[in-house]
Structure 1
Amino acid sequence: MTIRVAIADDEELIRVGLRVVIDAQPDLEVVGEAADGAEVPAMVARTRPGVLLMDVRMPAIDGIEATRRLLASSGEPPKVLVITTFENDDYVYEALRAGASGFVLKRTRPAEVVEAIRVLAGGESVVFPAAIRRLAAAYGSGGPAGDRLRRARLTERETEILRLMATGLSNAEIASALVLGAETIKTHVGNVLGKLGARDRTQAVIVAYESGFVSPAG
């Protein structure tokens, strides 16, 4: 099954480079491009991508607002993968808070960009706990995250799993650490996301840091 990919970036050279890398893969296909966040909704509605590579800094509507609008729309929005020049950037953190599922740097090796697309298309998130921790420490405002975690009423096991998720462990690694079956962990992770109202693991990890459940100070 071919993964449909779209690209939103105001730099044509970046769009061309990404298209070349992505279209060279037998299971990936670039189906649409946008040069600004304002063009994203119509482009997505027209091309129906599964994954959208989104630049955060664009002139008219930036990637943060474009992500918010996209995820608030009806239907099944694509997974958003932020592409950025600098990882320690408040734009990146706000895009993740808005609902992006992960980010990659523009200097990232092509093979890693391709793998990130496949991971998102497979229903997982591209989580970089160390980077999220730094971003949370620098830009996280706390706000309602603590109340959100308390209202979730996680069980002791779910709390333990959220803590391990925040360290970046995969389901398989969590299963190994807790000596539980992979399907059991998958069920617990699904329960954690559901109770937190988190779209994916990235959103759950952000709640964990912003609520103080996991300290950004490490």
Structure 2
Amino acid sequence: MIKLCIVDDHAMVRSGLKLLLHEKEEIRVVGEASEGEEAIALARQLRPDVMLMDLSMPHGKDGMAATREIRREVPSVEVLILTMHDDEEYLFRAIQAGASGYILKNAPHEELLTAIRMVAAGSAYLYPTATKRLMREYLEQAHTGGPEAAGPLSEREKEIVALVAKGYSNKEVADQLVISVKTVESHKANIMEKLGLKTRPDLVKYAMEKGLLHFE
């Protein structure tokens, strides 16, 4: 069961989301908030699996500030941004704040459900068109910056970073590289320590900056 909180300043949006999610047996809405401070309090109190977070909330803290504080204070809570902002700057700032996913409010219902499930399972989710634009921007930066090595990582570690940054679960990474899940977990822990990173979005940013993401 995925425990989820909805954070949006519009009551009608919250009601519509609750109605949609009520039909899904594996998702339970355990709380809702209309601004960032309420969201932070909910995260502390309820410790849901996922916070479905709007960015633009005119009263109190906005979604970006709330995401940053929730990820710092209750790191077990994943944040999925649900917003109208189809903009790379907002997307990048949300990743920096610690969000594990970013999806637009006009996305199909099934895409939203997929994003919730992926984030709850420990994977990252970025809506497809934003992913392409963001990858292109960072790969261009990496190209113009020259063939810089991806830091003090082994080739195996670089492979793992790339797959994790693309949103693959530990089991999927293990299957692709034909190694055990325990080995993947050990590599990930070593990578995070070696690079001084703390969150998955940090790892995604690192992979983008070092040009480790390649799509067919």
TM-score, normalised on structure 1?
A: 0.76
Q: RMSD over aligned Cα, in angstroms?
A: 3.1
After the TM superposition, which residues 12-51 of structure 1 pair with which residues of structure 2 at under 5 Å, given as runs?
12-51=11-50
Alignment of 1:145-156 (within 5 A): 150=151, 153-156=152-155
Letter in structure 2 aligned against 1:35: S
Cα distance, 1:160–1:27 mapped onto 2, change above 3 Å: closer
- Structure 2 counterpart SS, 1:53: strand
User: C-alpha distance in 1, partners of 2:98/2:153?
Assistant: 22
Q: Secondary structure at the match of 2:115?
A: helix
State the partner residue of 2:66: 66
- 1:213 is matched with 211
C-alpha displacement of 1:198: 3.8
Query: How far apart, in 1, do the equivalents of 2:122 and 2:96 lie?
Result: 18
CA distance in 1, matches of 2:55, 2:212: 26
Change (3 A) 1:84 1:185: same
| Helix, strand or coil at the partner of 1:111 | helix
Deviations 1:4-38 (A, max 9, x none): 10011112221111111112211211111111112
Give the distance between the partners of 2:109 and 2:88, measured in 1 at CA: 22
| Contact 1:93–1:132 (CA under 8 A) maintained in structure 2 | no
CA distance in 1, matches of 2:104, 2:184: 30
Per-residue CA deviation, residues 146-204 of structure 1 (Å, 9 max, x unaligned), is xxx63xx22221123323445566656655654x235244543454344342422x431
1:163 is matched with 162
Match of residue 146 from structure 1: none
The question of 1:55 aligning with 2:61 is answered no
CA-CA distance at 1:43 after TM superposition: 2.2
User: What does 1:51-200 align with in structure 2 at a 5 Å threshold?
Assistant: 51-59=50-58, 60-73=60-73, 75-127=74-126, 131-132=130-131, 134-135=133-134, 137=137, 150=151, 153-166=152-165, 174=173, 178=177, 180-183=178-181, 184-196=183-195, 197-200=197-200
Which residue identity does 1:213 align to in structure 2?
G
- SS of equivalent residue, structure 2 residue 103: strand
Residue identity in the other structure for 1:110: H
Are residues 173 and 79 of structure 1, via their aligned partners in 2, closer, same or farther at CA, if it must alter by over 3 Å? Answer: closer
What's the secondary structure of 2:71's corresponding residue? helix
Contact 2:50 2:120 (C-alpha < 8 Å) held by counterparts: yes
Counterpart residue number, 1:145: none
| SS of residue paired to 2:125 | coil
The aligned counterpart of 1:4 is 3
In the alignment, the residues of structure 2 paired with residue 129 and residue 188 of structure 1 have an alpha-carbon distance, to the nearest angstrom, of: 28
Count residues in correspondence.
202
Deviation at 1:207, TM superposition (A): 1.6
Read off the aligned partner of 2:112 and give its amino acid letter: V
Q: Is the 8 A contact 1:88 1:134 kept in 2?
A: no
User: Normalised by the size of structure 2, how large is the TM-score?
Assistant: 0.77
Partner Cα distance (2:25, 2:15) in 1? 18
